[in-house]
Amino acid sequence: MDSALLVKEYRAGVMECAHYGHICITDEHGQVAYSVGNPHFRAFTRSSAKPFQAIPGIRAGMDHHYNLEAHEIAIMASSHRSEPEHIQVLEHLARKIGLGEECLVCAPSYPLNEESRNNWLREQGEKRRILHNCSGKHLGILGYSQMKKLDLDTYAEPGHPVQREILETLAGLAGIKENEIQLGTDGCGFPVFSLPLSALSNAYLKLACPDLIEDESTRIAVKTITSAMNQHPLMVGGTNRVDSVLLEDDNIVAKGGFKGVFGFALKKERLGITFKVLDGSEEEWASIAQSILKQLNYSNPKTIARLAEVFPADIRNDAGTLVGRMDSEFVLHS
């Protein structure tokens, strides 16, 4: 099935950019309820998999083993921007686990948040592994591996027992077999998962509706992780990040991933939602999420208004002058 037009950008009334992609929304029965384009389009999860990657460790009790607090659990599922509060939590988490950042396989980086990066360069100057936006995930997996007395040097390898457990967990929640998930290598060095959007939507639905999960220990772990994400939305993304804004709404679980993939789910409505912008852009995420929520007649208009406030449709140049606008173009099909 062909991709669909999701968003257009206009400058001086002339279309400048068109962003195509796919949207899938599944219900509590695992069926596609609404879609745009191909609901079964295969996409790499990238960082949208992070809540699932945190499940095995929390399921095994590492939160109690290391006496983790909610904000530390939230940052294990994060793509943080290395704002000061992120760095503070990450360093505290590393001390609790008892491992230095030299154990991380993710590359030394600068903060992704512009203000934080400028301040870091002004005051510190050096790249650090803990500043990588995936460092919270890595610390979580390292902590779990250490708790289980597993090899730490190979913790990022697909054959490592924890990575195998992550794959098994994701496949189970997505309702597909492990061999239906194709593995690649993510930017941070971890395995990354390619699967149909419909399967990822079903997995996201279970994050929002853990009563659909048969295994009690997995169900409890999901509740712990998603509760932490909703309690500390800034830890999951950062200032003016779409997933952090959506997580301010206790009815929503959300996490974005690199190259245009995004997942979220609605608890009361019992819907799992994923979309992929094919050109890999994330500037359109807020517009797409707003349109989806509007078309679903979402019951909390404050969340839609919050998205519009933080991510206005107006396009402005570097001086702040209004030069165009962004409009969503799709209609959900049942």
For the chain, 334 residues long, give each residue's pLDDT as a single digit of tens: 799 999 999 999 999 999 999 999 999 999 999 999 999 999 999 999 999 999 999 999 999 999 999 999 999 999 999 999 999 999 999 999 999 999 999 999 999 999 999 999 999 789 999 999 999 999 999 999 999 999 999 999 999 999 999 999 999 999 999 999 999 999 999 999 999 999 999 999 999 999 999 999 999 999 999 999 999 999 999 999 999 999 999 999 999 999 999 999 999 999 999 999 999 999 999 999 999 999 999 999 999 999 999 999 999 999 999 999 999 999 999 9
Q: 108: helix, coil or strand? A: coil
Q: pLDDT by residue (tens digit) across 101-131?
A: 999 999 999 999 999 999 999 997 899 999 9
Query: Which residues lie closer than 8 Å to 132 by C-beta, 6 or more apart?
Result: 104, 106, 107, 108, 109, 138, 188
The 8-class DSSP code of residue 252 comes to E
Neighbours of 83 (CB within 10 A): 18
CATH 3.40.710 fits 4-64+158-328, yes or no: yes
| CA dihedral angle for residue 24, residue 245, residue 253, residue 74, rounded to 10 degrees | 130
Q: pLDDT by residue (tens digit) across 298-323?
A: 999 999 999 999 999 999 999 999 99
Q: 274: helix, coil or strand? A: strand
Query: Which residues lie closer than 8 Å to 123 by C-beta, 6 or more apart?
Result: none
